[in-house]
């Protein structure tokens, strides 16, 4: 582009032409779900559908007291919606902190535009602190650019005419103009984001177990429910004297006459309700929601409930260096003075003396940094922080030479002499550099090295006068978080394998990993050599430190670890981490990082402190261990309800009514489940969630089924009525549940003793105090004695079965796969891969989702065109009131992203 074009920029006609061609910088950021999507996601579940159908059946009977189970459904849905909305609100607040404006040159004037109003070939002006809105090429000026969020490189990159700028990076110092070469989906950041736009399956044993139980229950409910209803109707038909041709025709005639067989319907619904682990779903949501609230107090945002559990099960933790182990800032590692004779002490010189207690190196570093602090880059800021609390005399500068990317040094003159600071090969002559080259190489193994030298002065153009004589070195490195070593030590103690994956130089990454105590940090690999999948596979087994890693390689490394059956967590803060964060089983992002990283991560560290990770693990362990204990109570009801329903098909009627299941749900399952589910528990997670729960639940379930069978047998032999049978089954079930509570409460604590007493007293109070509400029969002495004998039998069977179950050793499992409909086969040099495309319904759902996504994309394109045209209107020439444009400035700070707003100045009053 010609110099005149650089000053003029695009014309209005050229902008409109590009808008018509769709060359607009459309917003391609990863977006979080809308409020509507979050509500639908939590409302439209299989669990809610089953309960809704059962509620309709109960409404048909007119027995509204049996609708109390809907409260659990409502509460569970509300918890999911509230948690999702809370996470969305927090992420929205964080997103507001990023830059959303840019300065473009159009028709010879500078105009402020929204980022989505930029078009291809726009000339944009960028200065210190600005975030680059689109891929561009520098056409004038020069600057140092921080690309750490994109590449992981902590060093600043010099950009001059002809250099390319990547969208998402920050200008650290300097001023330039650049021509936009990519917009929208063609931007570097957008390409990374597009690769992460897929739905990641949540790797949660608890969620998978719950889904498996609900799916199994939903499949078995239909045949069992129909058979049980038919059996109950048949019994009613017999009681009515077998009118009509059959029980089915009689049932239809009753329905047509408006008479619903309520008892048959209620007993069927009661059986089906027992098969659904309502309380377990609610308990899981509640325990994990409480865990997210506790973590929020520690400045940790859990955007997905089950991620807390996943992190507690992690056995490999992949760490990004910049922003995770290090703070993203620079710090002084050390100063190394050289022997200096007769310099700066006033000997044979008119210069003032450097204080005796201060080395020449310290004096020069502290004062040059102070003198150039007006435009302090990261190196200068590190020196200012280092000398902030060190007693070094402040000297007034006589001349200041700011840092220049072309010179690679900065300097200043004082009464005590003139000093420069910068890269040794640029500051020193070949002779002087040769004398210190070995020392520089030794220090440069782990840090950036700057030399400090004394010169005779500076020319009016800012060049050095005389040959620079070195007085010492200062080493600068990434500032390591104070808590990093302790946190990494914690994960080492927990047996978690640690991998450091960074886009930075592998030697630098290795040195930092060694400092914080990552095992195996001495061995590292440069990922530029890992150019094939087989090399990546081999490196995963051999190394724990990876440098020069591209975003795609980070994802491949995580994928390789998952193929080895590891549960992998990934931490990061940049765009270069997005693909790996999306691939990992559990992803953790820093709040000060990129929007994309925050939006794909399940956990966001709001205070950017890696030390919060152990607290997340502790919450996960507490949740898993306590849920494993409490889930046994809920699953017991599901299993015995299924078994009892099958038994009652042959021997009707089903003995429980829905209201009786409410008593069991509250005192035998809900109350003890919630209390035990919220206890402190930091023990390591062992075994499979479902296996551990089944080992506790099966003995109680079998005991209840055997007791119910005995109750039915006794009732038929002695001619007990239905109400008496229902009462006997209720109390024997409660006895088995109380025995289970006693067993899982070991070892006893004061809280567990109180809980046990509460359960027993609550059951007795309900049975004795509300017999009519709970349909409790008034038992005779003989019936009570028989009931007591069955209760003793039930408890004995339970404890025997529980002891047998505990003695079983875990069996090794071997996965097996087979072919079926919808099989996808991929062949390649690395071997074949067989996977499923899903059922017909799943494939149809995917096609519908794809069509909806395409329509959203077209709508977004139309909206982007309207926004861009608004930008054209802004750029129309107006009355000149000045050429300066005041706008907000976005920079990276210690607390994350800092937004500086312009101050508003009052216009002076017009003179009369």
Closest by CA to 734, choosing from 646, 647, 640, is 640
Let me know if 362 is a catalytic residue. Answer: no
> Is residue 86 within 8 Å of residue 852, measured between CB atoms?
no
Contacts of 537 (CB under 8 A, 6+ apart): 560
Q: Between β-strands 603-605 and 586-590, what pairing exists: parallel, antiparallel or unpaired?
A: parallel
Distance between CA atoms of 162 and 208, rounded to whole angstroms? 53
CA nearest to 145, candidates 133, 134, 162, 130: 130
Distance CA 264, CA 234 (A): 9
Buried b (16+ CB within 10 A) or exposed e, 15-33: beebbeeebbbbbbbbebe
CA distances 327 to 322, 521, 612, Å, are 7, 19, 14
C-beta separation of 115 from 102 below 8 A: yes
Sheet holding 326-337, edge to edge: 326-337, 469-480, 448-455, 417-422, 409-414, 399-404
Question: Could you give the CA distance from residue 200 to residue 195 in angstroms, rounded to a whole number?
Answer: 12
d(CA 592, CA 580): 18
- Compute the distance between CA of residue 74 and CA of residue 48 in angstroms, rounded to an integer: 9
Q: Write the DSSP assignment of 97-127 as a string of letters.
A: TS--EEEEEETTEEEEEEGGG-BTT-EEEEE
Residue 539: CB atoms within 10 A of its CB come to: 17
Classify residue 199 by its DSSP letter: P
Four-residue CA torsion sign, 42, 43, 49, 50: positive
458 forms bridges with which residues in the sheet? 464
Closest CA to 651 of 704, 701, 725: 725
Measure CA 539 to chain center: 27
Cα separation, 847 vs 824, in Å, equals 16
CA distance 539 to 547: 12
3-state secondary structure of 332: strand
Closest by Cα among 488, 276, 452, 424 to 363: 452
Q: Looking at 116, 135, 320, 585, which residue is catalytic?
A: 320
What is the C-alpha to C-alpha distance for residues 467 and 396, in angstroms, rounded to an integer?
24
Contact by Cβ (8 Å): 453, 471? yes
- Token pair listed for 13: 């006609």
What are the DSSP E strand ranges found in 490-538? 497-501, 525-526
Q: For residues 451 and 426, give the distance between their C-alpha atoms in angstroms, rounded to a whole number.
A: 10
Give Cα separations from 268 to 47, 144, 240 (angstroms). Answer: 18, 73, 19
DSSP strand E in 515-567: where? 525-526, 545-547
Torsion 244-248-254-255 (CA) sign: negative
Planar angle of CA 51, 219, 694, nearest 5 degrees:
90
CA atoms of 18 and 107, how far apart (whole Å): 15
State the Cα angle at 402 between 401 and 408, rounded to 5°: 100
Q: Give the number of other CB atoms < 10 A from CB of residue 91.
A: 19
Q: Can you say whether residue 608 is alpha, beta or left, with left for phi > 0 and alpha for psi between -120 and 50 degrees?
A: left
Q: Which of 615, 592, 675, 574 is nearest to 296 (CA)?
A: 615
Residues annotated as part of the active site: 320
């Amino acid at each position: 582009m010609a110099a005149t074009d650089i000053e003029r920029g695009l014309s209005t006609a050229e902008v409109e032409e590009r808008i018509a061609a769709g060359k607009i910088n459309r917003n391609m950021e990863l977006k979080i779900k809308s409020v509507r999507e979050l509500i639908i996601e939590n409302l439209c579940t299989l669990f809610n559908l089953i309960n809704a159908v059962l509620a309709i059946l109960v409404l048909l009977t007119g027995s509204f007291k049996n609708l109390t189970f809907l409260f659990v459904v409502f509460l569970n849905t509300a918890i999911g919606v509230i948690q999702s909305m809370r996470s969305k609100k927090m992420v929205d607040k964080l997103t507001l902190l990023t830059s959303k404006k840019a300065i473009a040159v159009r028709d010879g004037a500078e105009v402020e535009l929204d980022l989505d109003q930029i078009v291809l070939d726009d000339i944009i002006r960028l200065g210190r602190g600005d975030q680059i809105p689109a891929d561009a090429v520098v056409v004038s000026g020069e600057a140092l650019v921080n690309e750490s969020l994109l590449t992981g490189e902590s060093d600043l990159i010099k950009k001059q005419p002809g250099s390319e700028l990547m969208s998402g990076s920050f200008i650290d110092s300097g001023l330039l103009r650049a021509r936009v070469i990519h917009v929208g989906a063609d931007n570097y950041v957008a390409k990374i984001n597009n690769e992460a736009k897929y739905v990641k399956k949540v790797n949660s044993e608890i969620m998978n177990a719950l889904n498996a139980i609900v799916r199994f229950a939903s499949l078995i409910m239909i045949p069992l429910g129909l058979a049980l209803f038919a059996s109950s109707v048949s019994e009613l038909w017999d009681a009515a004297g077998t009118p009509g041709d059959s029980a089915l025709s009689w049932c239809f005639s009753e329905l047509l006459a408006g008479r619903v067989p309520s008892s048959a319907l209620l007993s069927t619904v009661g059986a089906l309700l027992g098969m659904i682990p309502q309380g377990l779903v609610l308990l899981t949501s509640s325990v994990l929601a409480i865990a997210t609230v506790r973590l929020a107090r520690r400045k940790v945002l859990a955007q997905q409930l089950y991620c807390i559990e996943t992190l507690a099960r992690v056995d490999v933790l992949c760490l990004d260096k910049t922003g995770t182990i290090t703070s993203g800032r620079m710090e002084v590692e050390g100063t190394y003075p050289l022997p200096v004779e007769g310099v700066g002490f006033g000997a044979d010189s008119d210069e003032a003396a450097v204080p005796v207690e201060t080395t020449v190196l310290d004096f020069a570093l502290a004062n040059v940094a102070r003198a150039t602090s007006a435009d302090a880059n990261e190196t200068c800021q590190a020196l200012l922080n280092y000398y902030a609390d060190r007693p070094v005399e402040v000297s007034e500068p006589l001349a200041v030479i700011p840092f220049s990317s072309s010179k690679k040094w900065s300097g200043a003159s004082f009464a005590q002499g003139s000093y420069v600071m910068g890269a040794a090969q640029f500051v020193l002559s070949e002779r002087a550099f040769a004398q210190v080259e070995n020392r520089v190489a030794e220090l440069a193994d782990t840090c950036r090295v700057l030399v400090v030298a004394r010169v005779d002065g500076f020319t009016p153009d800012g060049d050095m006068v005389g040959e620079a004589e070195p007085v010492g070195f200062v080493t600068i490195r990434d500032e390591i978080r104070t808590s990093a070593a302790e946190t990494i030590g914690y994960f080492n103690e927990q047996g978690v394998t640690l991998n450091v994956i960074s886009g930075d130089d592998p030697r630098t990454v290795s040195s930092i990993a060694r400092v914080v105590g990552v095992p195996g940090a001495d061995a590292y690999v440069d990922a530029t050599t890992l150019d094939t999948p087989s090399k990546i596979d081999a490196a995963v087994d051999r190394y724990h430190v990876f440098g020069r890693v591209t975003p795609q390689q980070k994802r491949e490394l995580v994928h390789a670890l998952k193929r080895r059956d590891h549960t992998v967590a990934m931490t990061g803060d940049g765009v270069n981490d997005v693909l790996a964060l999306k691939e990992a089983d559990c992803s953790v992002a820093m709040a000060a990082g990129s929007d994309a990283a925050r939006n794909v991560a399940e956990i966001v560290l709001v205070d950017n402190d890696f030390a919060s990770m152990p607290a997340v693990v502790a919450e996960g362990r507490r949740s898993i261990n306590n849920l494993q204990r409490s889930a046994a109570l809920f699953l017991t009801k599901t299993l015995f309800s299924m078994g009892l329903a099958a038994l009652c098909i042959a021997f009707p009627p089903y003995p429980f009514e829905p209201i009786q299941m409410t008593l069991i749900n509250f005192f035998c399952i809900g109350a003890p489940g919630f209390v035990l589910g919220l206890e402190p528990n930091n023990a390591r997670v062992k075994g499979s969630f479902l296996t551990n729960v089944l080992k506790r639940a099966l003995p109680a379930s079998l005991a209840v089924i055997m007791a119910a069978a005995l109750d039915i047998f006794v009732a038929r032999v002695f001619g007990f009525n239905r109400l008496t049978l229902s009462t006997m089954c209720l109390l024997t079930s409660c006895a088995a549940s109380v025995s289970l509570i006693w067993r899982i409460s070991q070892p006893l604590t004061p809280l567990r003793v109180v809980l046990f007493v509460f359960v027993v007293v609550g059951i007795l109070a309900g049975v004795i105090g509300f017999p009519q509400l709970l349909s409790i029969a008034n038992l005779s002495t003989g019936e009570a004695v028989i009931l007591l004998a069955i209760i003793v039998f039930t408890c004995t069977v339970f404890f025997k079965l529980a002891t047998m179950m505990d003695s079983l050793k875990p069996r090794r499992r071997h996965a097996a796969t087979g072919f079926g409909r919808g099989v996808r086969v991929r062949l390649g040099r690395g071997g074949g891969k067989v996977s499923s495309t899903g059922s017909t319904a799943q494939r149809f759902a995917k096609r519908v989702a794809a069509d909806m996504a395409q329509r959203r994309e077209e709508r977004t394109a139309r909206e982007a065109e309207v926004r861009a045209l608004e930008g054209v209107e802004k750029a129309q020439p107006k009355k000149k009131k000045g050429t300066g444009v005041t706008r907000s400035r976005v920079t990276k700070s210690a607390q994350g992203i800092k937004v500086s707003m312009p101050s508003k100045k009052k216009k002076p009053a017009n003179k009369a």
